[in-house]
Amino acid sequence: MKHEDRHEILQRLIDATQAGKLVWQDEDEHGWHTAKLGGSEIIFRQLFFEATNQIGADPAMFEFIMPGMSAKFALGTKGADLLFQLLGAAFPEKWLSRETDYAARFLDENLNP
């Protein structure tokens, strides 16, 4: 499957979520976001990598699984951007504009004292 095909699948999931045709369950104890469709599950989660010389872990990629498609998308790629859009469509109160709002406030407060 080509990257463009994967991106099209993710866009269809975003569209279905925004239309209310696909309902997602928020993270389980293992970090999976889950939706049921046609008797099967569609699941994805962020993967975190931890360096041995620092405390904590940062998200590095998404892992995505559904019937006919299994993929990993590194942060900064179009696939990861689409999965962030999917999170925003599924859980708007939790995911929409969170990081960019903070970044904009930070710049406003520090560049325009």
Tens digit of pLDDT at every position of the chain (113 positions):
688 999 999 999 999 999 999 999 998 888 899 999 999 999 999 998 877 777 777 789 999 999 999 999 999 999 999 999 999 999 987 776 555 677 778 888 899 86
CA atoms of 23 and 25, how far apart (whole Å): 7
SS3 assignment, position 44: strand
- Single-letter code of the amino acid located at 113: P
Q: Please state, in angstroms and as integers, the Cα–Cα distance from residue 41 to each residue in 1, 24, 35, 49, following that order.
A: 20, 10, 6, 25
What is the tally of structural domains in the chain?
1
Domain that holds residue 103: 3-111
pTM of the model: 0.81
Q: Please state, in angstroms and as integers, the Cα–Cα distance from residue 69 to each residue in 19, 82, 98, following that order.
A: 22, 15, 29
